[in-house]
Amino acid sequence: MKANYRNLFFLVGIALLVVMLFSLDMSWREIWTNVCHAGYWLPFNIVLWAGIYLMNAASWYVIINDKEHARVSFGEVYRLTISGYVLNYVTPLGLLGGEPYRVMELAPYVGRSKAASSVILYSMMHVFSHFWFWLLGVVLFVVVYPIDWGLGILLGTIASVCLLVIYFFMKGYRNGLVVKTLRVLSHIPYVNRWSERFYASHAEALHRVDAQIAALHAQHRRTFYLSLGLELLARVISSLEIYVLMRILTPDVTVVDSILIMAFSSLFSNLMFFMPMQIGAREGSIALVADRLHLTAGYGLFTGILCRLRELCWIVIGLILIKVKGHKHG
């Protein structure tokens, strides 16, 4: 990637980070009080997420390396994984910053077509794993907790939507998804002309990307399920952060509780995808789910705040990783 593009991503990230810091609905004294209360568990969670990002990177790396030895190192994929997520965190609607950045950075190693297909495949896998995780949350809730009719209808609706989305994802993996998505967009006002022009000028490349997507599922199923398994494992392990933070406040929380809180809070906060970092939605959803599991909502709010602080630490790290690369190759 040219240095000026990399610098642009860096500056946009810094600007949005500053906006988010001033958008936090708490004083610096309150933040410091929570940090002191967390003690060494906050640094523990920062290190924990280094391992989670490692699994995310491994999931993407096996996609890049599905046929032959990749010309990009795992360390570089790890860097792009972290910095790409950082750009997604700080941009509204997600995926607007991180994915183009990853394609531009990866293209010199594997070519633009392979870079685009691997980024699309990995992004699909990342989203796909969330629906499996939410479905796991529904199953665990039904097994562990009693449910009334209202809650049963809600859980049934969530499970039905997850299964429907999983079905369409599998069809997309078998037959390719990019061209079909553009054809759907061609029937939607305001974006139809853009999608038609984009398809007309990139038809060959788009069909090649779709062929690579379909080939991963048809010819490299081990790679497909390994990548999916790593992403799903990362989701489950991320719930350990909830567990250790809530254990500071109460011995009543269980590992299953932490998985349920992570699953349903991520579901609710993702409904606020249009907000950078889902400011406020993440903390509120953790508190809401904790309260529904008969844990004090205040425990959930404390946990949400500490998760947000850990996230801000990784945003700073990710922005540094963008700039460090730019300095070396700029």
**pLDDT digit string, tens, across residues 191-224:** 677 777 877 877 777 777 777 777 776 667 788 8
More confident: 3 or 305: 305
Here the tokens at position 284 are: 């509120």
Average pLDDT over residues 45-52: 94
* CA within 13 Å, CB half, 146: 2
* Higher per-residue confidence, 279 vs 79: 79
Rounded to whole angstroms, the Cα distance separating 252 from 247 reads 8
CA distance 211 to 118: 12
Residue with the larger pLDDT of the pair 23 and 59:
59
Amino acid at 192: N
Question: Radius of gyration over alpha carbons of the chain, in Å?
Answer: 20
Alpha-carbon dihedral sign for residues 220, 222, 228, 230: negative
**Unique residue bearing structure tokens 């425990």:** 299
Q: What is the pLDDT of residue 58?
A: 96
For the chain, how many structural domains are there in total? 1
* Predicted local distance difference test score (pLDDT) of residue 77: 93
| Predicted local confidence at residue 138, as pLDDT | 92
Asked if 179 and 199 count as a contact pair (C-beta separation under 8 A), the reply is yes
pLDDT given at position 151:
82
3-state secondary structure of 188: coil
Those residues with Cβ within 8 angstroms of residue 310's Cβ, 6 or more apart along the chain or in another chain: 42, 45, 46, 49, 241
The predicted-structure confidence for 262-305, as pLDDT tens digits, reads as follows 888 888 777 655 444 444 455 555 655 666 666 666 677 777 77
CA distance 329 to 55: 27
Task: Give the mean pLDDT of 45-56.
Answer: 94
Q: Report the percentage of the chain scoring pLDDT > 90.
A: 19
Where do runs of H (alpha helix) occur along the chain? 3-23, 28-38, 41-64, 74-90, 98-110, 112-144, 149-175, 178-185, 192-219, 221-247, 255-270, 281-292, 297-329
Residues 6+ away with beta carbon under 8 Å from 60: 77, 81, 118, 122, 227
The residue-averaged pLDDT of 1-7 equals 52
Q: Is 5 exposed, middle or buried (0-12, 13-18, 19+ CB in 10 A)?
A: middle
Q: Which long-range contacts (CB under 8 A, 24 or more apart) does 282-289 make?
A: 282/307, 282/308, 283/307, 283/308, 286/242, 286/261, 289/260, 289/261, 289/264, 289/265
What does pLDDT average to over the chain?
77
Sorting pLDDT into bands at 50, 70 and 90, what band is 13?
low
Name the burial class of residue 87, with classes exposed (0-12), middle (13-18) and buried (19+) by CB atoms within 10 angstroms of its CB. buried
Residue for token pair 């906050």? 42
Domain span including residue 230: 3-329
- The whole-angstrom separation of Cα 8 and Cα 84 is 14
Tokens for 172, please give them. Answer: 């997309």
Q: What is the per-residue pLDDT across 113-140, written as a single tens digit (0 to 9) for each? A: 788 888 888 888 888 899 999 999 999 9
